[in-house]
Structure formats: C-alpha cells, structure tokens
Structure 1
Amino acid sequence: MRVNEVIFVWVIRVLVLPACAMEIALERDFELQGYMFEASTEQLRTPRTVRVGLIQNRIVLPTDAPVLDQITALHKRIGEMVDVAAMCGVNIVCFQEAWTMPFAFCTREKEPWTEFAESAEEGYTTRFCQELAKKYNMVVISPILEREEVHNVLWNTAVVVSNSGSVLGKTRKNHIPRVGDFNESTYYMEGNTGHKVFQTQFGKIAVNICYGRHHPLNWFMYSMNGAEIIFNPSATVGGLSEPMWSIEARNAAIANHCFTCGINRVGTEHFNNEFTSGDGKKAHQDFGYFYGSSYVAAPDGSRSPGLSRTRDGLLVTEMDLNLSRQISDKWSFKMTGRYEEYAEELTRATKQDFKPNIIKE
C-alpha cells in the first residue's frame, strides 16, 4: 500500500447456507455464496428481513442449436439453480438479462433470434416461472425478449411473477445502448412502461434493465416511486464496462437509500456469421467475455463480494429493509434534494431555445 493510501472495507457477515445446498451446487457445477446485510435494532419496528437470490449463467447449448432446444436447456439449468435457491430460503430471485437465449442482438441478424421472443403474460418461459413461483413461494423476476402480440412489436422486458404464481406485471428497458457491438435498436427500442415498482409480499421492487444503470436519473425515478430493492439484470462484456460495474449499482444504492442488485451473465457466445461493430473493430464472431461478478449493494455503502467472473453462480443475500430508512434518516438525501429546482431546470433544458446558465466576464 502506498503512503497515505487508505482503504475502507465494510465487513459483511457470511450467511451460513445449508450443507445440502452447497453439496448440490458443487455437484451441478455452480458457485454458491451467501452474505448478510444487517440493520440496527429499533424499538418500534421489527426487522424486515428478506432473502434475495441472483443467478448468473452461461448459455447451455451452442448458438446454432434449434431455438426450442436452447430455451429448454436453459430452463432446465436455471430450474436446478432455483431449486438450490429455495433450499437457501430465497424469497425473490432474479435472472440475468434475456436469460432464455444468447445475447445475439448485436449481430443485427433477425433470424433466428426473433424466434426467441415470447409473450410476457402467457409465454412458455412465463409459465415455467409461474410454476417455480408457486412451488417455492418465491417472487421470480424473468427478463426476456418479449413479443407484444397485438402490434407484433419486440421489447426487452422483465416479467415479475408473484410468489402466488400470478403475473404481477412487466417493465421494459428504458435505455438502449448504441456503443460498439451493443447497438440493440435493430430489435427493440426504448421502453414505454416508465418506472414501475412492484409491491410484493417481501418488499417493493423494481427492475432497471442493463444499460439503464449508466443513467443516474433512471435509478432515481425507481426510488422516487418507492422501490426498496432495485434489480439490474445485465449482459455486458469485459473491455467495455468492467471498470464501471462495481461502482454504478453501489453508487445508486447510496444515492437512493435502497438496496441494488447487479446481475451479469458469464461466458463467451460464438456466432456462425461475422459481424462488425460501431467502433471500427474488424469483423468478429463474438462479443468477448461476459464477466459475471454479480453483487448486492446496500444503502450504507457496503456491498457483497461478487460472484465469479467465469462460472455460473447463485448469490444469496439476506437484507433487513429497515436499513434503508435508518440511512435515510442519517443522510437525508431525499429530504435535502432540491427536486422542484431540478425539475424546472430540466424542463428548460429540454426546450429548443435552451441557453446554459453560464456567467461570463
């Protein structure tokens, strides 16, 4: 360590998980970690404890396997991991972005990738998640490629299934990247569902899909609508976003007095046909490696260690939601926020005749 360099480390308690769960995870070749976020004991409120599970994984079959075979293989793999999550007492589980398919959107080929699109309300994957939810009394967050049947439009969507097994609702990706390989507007555009928050038996949750994590106001609006836990299911590769990954969700947890959960897939996905990117690279057949590293951050600035950069994994975290109000009472970011002033200035900034407020000599 250099002179005058100080490193601040939060001590996070390890959550002891059942030995049988650890054995099954080892047998099925995925990492299993558990951690606890505690809050101070209060006189008038009992702890509001919830267990959250984050699942990161690689695709199971090659990208040129039949579409239904790929979907079925991923259902089987994720089902096995959810079985272990249930053994660990998980109340809410979240999968990675577009979990039922390769992240093929940047190839700009329509076929066969659009065939992975499903109805958010009645699709094959949603029915699969409903069965898991009912079986385990667990809220399931399922990010998929959605086909809206009425207008035959595709969306990048997260379906929220209640622990009762009913579809509580869906939320669509608010921000679409146009960076390097990641130019996804060939398939879908910015979402139209706003900043929905879902009231579940285990707390109020929101889903900030992938690229939305780069936009502080996106996190902020979910928080303003009451989210206590904001999930960020993603698919992002090393060399592009890894330096920012460990910072963004953590900053959002601090700024918004809530818990945040970053989930990223792992592995490298190879495609038969070469494609070019927007940054001048030569034609290539993969995006590089998805670096995993899924983690949970708390409003006090603490965070869990991340899962592996290379292996499938399940991260189980137990959190006391009382911590959010305790930290809010201490720092009062929302109470001291000048939102009316921001709203007025942002409104002016969106006008064609906007002039920056710069004072010159």
Structure 2
Amino acid sequence: MKDRINIGLIQMSCSDDVKENFEKAIYMIEEAGRSGANIVCTQELFKTRYFCQIENWDYFKLAEPVNENSDTIKTLSQLAKDLNIVIIASLFEKRAEGLYHNTVAVIDVDGNYLGKYRKMHIPDDPHFYEKFYFTEGDLGYKVFQTRYGKVGTLICWDQWFPEAARLTAMKGANIIFYPTAIGWLPEEKDQFGESQYNAWETVQRGHAVANGCYIAAVNRTGFEPSPDGNSGIEFWGQSFISDPYGQIIKKASIDKEEILLAEIDLSLIDETRITWPFFRDRRIETYQDLSKRWLED
C-alpha cells in the first residue's frame, strides 16, 4: 500500500433507463481509471432514478442480488480487474422475497468481491420514503482491506450520525465513503437551501476531524421529477473530499456530471492523530448512556 493514492467520485444524473444509467456509470468509471484513479465510488443507487420519492410496489422490481455471482458484480469485477482499481458501488439489493436493502459492494483491484455494507440508518421523510423499501442493515459497520488502503462505507442518511463514523474509523478506515442522494425540494430551496447544504457539508467535515480520516461524499446531480406529479428533487451535486483536518481538497459543481479526481496522502492520518489525539483521550468508561434512546431528567 502506498501513501499517495487517487480517489475518483462519479457524480452523474440518472434517467428512467436502468441500462443507460449503468452504461454511463461504466464509461465514467473507465475514464476515472484511465485518468489515474485508484479507488472509484459511485453515488447512491446509481443504476436508477431516486425512486424513493414515492411509495410504489413496482419499484421493488429494480432490486437485484448483490453477491459475487450476480450480473452487476461480475461486470464491475471485470472492470476493476481490467483497470486495476477498487470499485465501490451502491445498489438496491434483493436479499430474499420481501427483504430488501440499500447496499454498497466493494471490489478490489484483482476483481475480487470483498463484500458489502447494508445501510444502517433509514430515513422516512417527504420525498425520501426509504423505510417503505429498505430493511435496516444487519452487517454492522464495515471496513474493507483493499490494495490501496482500508475503506469504510456508509450511505447517505448514515452521514449525519457521528456514532457511525466513529465506529467505522475505529475499525481502521483510512477513508470513509458516503454514496449519497440528497438535494433540495424546490418549494424549500429559497428559504432553507443554503443552510441545508451547509449543514450536510459541515457535519461530514466534522467526522473527518473527529476521527482523523478522509471523507469522500459522492452525490448525484440534476433534477428528478416525482412520479406522482409532486415537486421533485433538485439534487445538489457538490460531491467532495475532505482531509483529516476537515479541509476540502476538491469539490464538484452543483449541476454538472463529472468525475471528481483528487490525490490524498494517507500518511496525514497518523500525523493528524498524533497532533490531535482524540482516540487517546476518549473517556470510554463514561459513554454507556449512548446505547440509550434518550436520557430522562
């Protein structure tokens, strides 16, 4: 494993055509690999539009098995092997009849399928009705040893929870990847848009600082109308990579499809954790109450 590696984040818009979306993602992954990326990550549910804007049983047909024998994993495994890259891909997993997950698969440079992470925190908000589709993850917080370092994988709503980032970092993650689908509701953008985006970026940069690791958040872009005729979502793009000091190394645009490519230095993790020894000074004997839902007076 070398200290300096290149990360590629695939920020794209999606259509109703699953095949078209997949082919576009493959093309962008290939371009990232040819441009020097060592680890490439997709946005959340990159093969489809963000169908969770409504509750519709028909959308369960979009799900697929996620394992070394599934067609999508086989295709991505060959791509990883051909390009000598790590691929992190966000998929709608059909685990069994009536049991579905929002899942990330990780594939190493030799095409070896390393495993998957299932989204732990599932939102249920207007236009984000994920509890209708996804069962909460049961694999725990995951870190995968790849040729280019230890990568942690969390997904979208997970990014707001410091406990998830902490536990992933404690398992040894050098980089925490957050495949994401988040944006503005048009009726809220003027009043809340700036504060919503700033909160999203700030909390993740805080995870980087508190855990002394890199954060890579990859969001989709473009406007997706709601299938039921409601206002839809304007995804705010702006995928970014933060270093362990919380500084943004590189950020994508709001409204363009692009490959965000940036070099990171993994040796900075040890340097940061020596300077700011948060793990040394944690008072673990005082944190028992974190396992409770709330603390009463």
TM-score where L is the length of structure 2: 0.92
Q: 1:206-254: per-residue Cα shift (whole Å, max 9, x none)?
A: 1110001111111111001111100011000124642322212211100
1:47 Cα deviation (Å)?
6.0
Indicate the residue corresponding to 1:214 in structure 2.
160
Question: Aligned letter for 1:306?
Answer: K
Indicate the residue corresponding to 1:346 in structure 2.
290
Q: Does 1:325 align with 2:280?
A: no
Q: How does 1:163-178 map to 2 (within 5 A)?
A: 163-178=109-124
Pick one of 189, 197, 219 that aligns with 1:264: 219
Between the aligned partners of 2:131 and 2:227, the Cα distance in structure 1 is: 21
CA contact (8 A) 1:117 1:146 kept: yes
Cα 1:166–1:336 change in 2 (3 A) is same
* Percentage of identical aligned residues: 30
1:48 Cα deviation (Å)?
1.0
Which structure shows the bigger proportion of residues in helix conformation? 2
Q: Does 1:254 align with 2:209?
A: yes
Between the aligned partners of 1:252 and 1:346, the Cα distance in structure 2 is: 17
1:285 Cα deviation (Å)?
5.1
Pick one of 97, 114, 117 that aligns with 2:44: 97
Between the aligned partners of 1:183 and 1:83, the Cα distance in structure 2 is: 33
Between the aligned partners of 2:264 and 2:132, the Cα distance in structure 1 is: 39
1:74 Cα deviation (Å)?
1.3
Indicate the residue corresponding to 1:336 in structure 2.
281
CA contact (8 A) 1:296 1:304 kept: yes
CA contact (8 A) 2:160 2:204 kept: no
Cα 1:175–1:144 change in 2 (3 A) is same
CA contact (8 A) 1:47 1:322 kept: no
Indicate the residue corresponding to 2:4 in structure 1.
49
CA contact (8 A) 2:25 2:46 kept: no
Indicate the residue corresponding to 2:243 in structure 1.
298
Indicate the residue corresponding to 1:141 in structure 2.
88
Question: Aligned letter for 1:345?
Answer: D
Describe the SS at the equivalent of 2:248: coil
Indicate the residue corresponding to 2:131 in structure 1.
185
Indicate the residue corresponding to 1:130 in structure 2.
77
Describe the SS at the equivalent of 2:134: coil
CA contact (8 A) 1:273 1:285 kept: no
1:322 Cα deviation (Å)?
0.7
Between the aligned partners of 1:106 and 1:95, the Cα distance in structure 2 is: 20
Question: Aligned letter for 2:86?
Answer: V
Question: Aligned letter for 1:181?
Answer: H
Q: 1:245-271: per-residue Cα shift (whole Å, max 9, x none)?
A: 221221110000100001110011124
Between the aligned partners of 2:154 and 2:22, the Cα distance in structure 1 is: 23
Cα 1:86–1:185 change in 2 (3 A) is same
1:128 Cα deviation (Å)?
1.8
Indicate the residue corresponding to 2:54 in structure 1.
107
Indicate the residue corresponding to 2:172 in structure 1.
226
Between the aligned partners of 2:171 and 2:127, the Cα distance in structure 1 is: 33
Question: Aligned letter for 1:300?
Answer: Y
Q: Does 1:235 align with 2:181?
A: yes
CA contact (8 A) 1:100 1:116 kept: no
CA contact (8 A) 1:158 1:172 kept: yes
Cα 1:350–1:202 change in 2 (3 A) is same
Between the aligned partners of 1:333 and 1:272, the Cα distance in structure 2 is: 46
Between the aligned partners of 1:216 and 1:78, the Cα distance in structure 2 is: 30
Which structure shows the bigger proportion of residues in strand conformation? 2
Q: CA RMSD in A?
A: 1.7
Question: Aligned letter for 1:314?
Answer: I
Indicate the residue corresponding to 1:25 in structure 2.
none
Describe the SS at the equivalent of 1:86: helix
Question: Aligned letter for 2:121?
Answer: H
Between the aligned partners of 1:145 and 1:75, the Cα distance in structure 2 is: 13
Q: 1:35-60: per-residue Cα shift (whole Å, max 9, x none)?
A: xxxxxxxxxxx96111111011001x
Between the aligned partners of 2:53 and 2:31, the Cα distance in structure 1 is: 33
TM-score where L is the length of structure 1: 0.76
Give the aligned length. Answer: 287
Question: Aligned letter for 2:28?
Answer: M
Question: Aligned letter for 2:209?
Answer: I
* Large movers: runs of 4+ above 4 Å: none
Describe the SS at the equivalent of 1:119: coil
Describe the SS at the equivalent of 1:140: strand
Which stretch has the larger CA shift, 134-143 or 300-309?
A: 300-309
